[in-house]
Amino acid sequence: MHQNQSHPNGNGYLFDQFLQDGSNKRTDSYGGSFENRARFLLEATRAVISVWGSDKVAVRLGPSGSFGDMADSNPEGLFTYVATELGKLDLAYLHLIEPRVRGNVEDDTRDPNPVAAKLIRSIYPGTIIAAGGFKADTAEAIIAAGDANLVAFGRDFISNPDLPERLRRKAPLNPYDRETFFGGTDIGYVDYPFYDQRVAA
């Protein structure tokens, strides 16, 4: 967890396993209906808020994610319900993973109307951070459309320690090496050059 206490939801983690009916086969009060499947996430979020305050708590959701074969028979209904309930908690932000990958592989066969920031924005009153394969132009577009307040970058930030400055200057980006993402060494984490270093070389 970082400065804002953010649940590591989405991507097949425990909260996601409770939310989605592809994995949640429970028959008690934590399975079945949207309300029941969302109960664990909402109870945990309220518990964290009771300690840290809502302005320091955020939740991350992957409504269109399929990591680890995650799936739901009605993702629009489920995640609009969850977003509506989270909207009552005055969170610091709601972090949404836009559809970009299937598992951990790039997927260009995206649903033209995914359950993503555009849909959630219509029902969620607070700050939305969108993430998922954004480049400078697509980040600017989603913010200009009003579908997200902020955009998060992951892979490009790993390979570009000066990413905000590169985006501001419209400078080329270092390509990332997915093979080093989980290597456990400094290779692929602290050895990418800053743009000014690259130009000087």
- Considering the candidates 13, 30, 176, 189, report the single residue annotated as catalytic: 13
pLDDT digits (tens, 9 = 90+) for 128-161: 999 998 999 999 999 999 999 999 999 999 999 9
Cα 82–121–61 angle (5° rounding)? 40
93 in catalytic set = no
Q: Tell me the Cα Rg of the chain.
A: 18
17 and 24 Cβ atoms separated by less than 8 Å: yes
Please answer whether residues 156 and 176 qualify as being in contact, where contact means their C-beta atoms are separated by less than 8 angstroms.
yes
In this prediction, residue 99 carries a pLDDT of 81
pLDDT at 7: 44
Spatial CB neighbours of 16, under 8 Å, sequence gap ≥ 6? 9, 10, 23, 62, 65, 70
Mean pLDDT of 87-107: 77
Query: Contact at 8 Å (CB) between 131 and 161?
Result: no
CATH no. for 5-152? 3.20.20.70
